[in-house]
């Protein structure tokens, strides 16, 4: 089965990001295909390599980057949401790229299921 993931919440103060990451790992471990992970609204903060989480907390940007490096998952940050929140090419973590909402629509078309995390 083919999955696409939409992440709408930032990495701090919400369970959505951790749940999305765990779901992505489970999809891949289960032998399914992960077409794309699209970061929208506050979800774009997950791509900021300059974020420094408090001691003892996981760096979600690094965790997503590792997932992309290991499995070649396409991590796409919405350009409009990123620009509004200061997430730009210059501060993207490895494995992320910036593009438009068309990439989210395409992922939904290519996937059998689009799973959304966050409001």
Indicate which residues carry an active-site annotation.
78
Count the residues in the chain: 119
CA angle (105, 107, 64) in 5-degree steps: 120
Nearest CA-CA partner of 44 in 89, 87, 90: 87
Do 16 and 9 form a contact (C-beta atoms < 8 A)?
yes
**Ramachandran sector of residue 57 (left: φ over 0; alpha: ψ -120 to 50; beta: rest):** beta
Q: Which residue has the tokens 């390599």?
A: 49
């Amino acid at each position: 089965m083919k999955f696409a993931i939409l992440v709408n919440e930032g990495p701090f103060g919400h369970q959505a990001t951790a749940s999305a990451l765990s779901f992505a790992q489970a999809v891949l471990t289960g032998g399914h295909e992960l077409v794309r992970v699209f970061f929208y609204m506050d979800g774009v903060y997950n791509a900021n390599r300059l974020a420094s989480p408090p001691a003892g907390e996981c760096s979600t940007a690094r965790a997503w980057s590792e997932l992309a490096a290991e499995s070649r998952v396409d991590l796409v940050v919405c350009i409009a949401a990123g620009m509004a929140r200061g997430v730009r090419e210059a501060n993207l973590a490895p494995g992320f790229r910036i593009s438009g909402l068309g990439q989210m629509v395409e992922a939904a078309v290519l996937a059998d299921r689009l799973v959304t995390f966050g409001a």
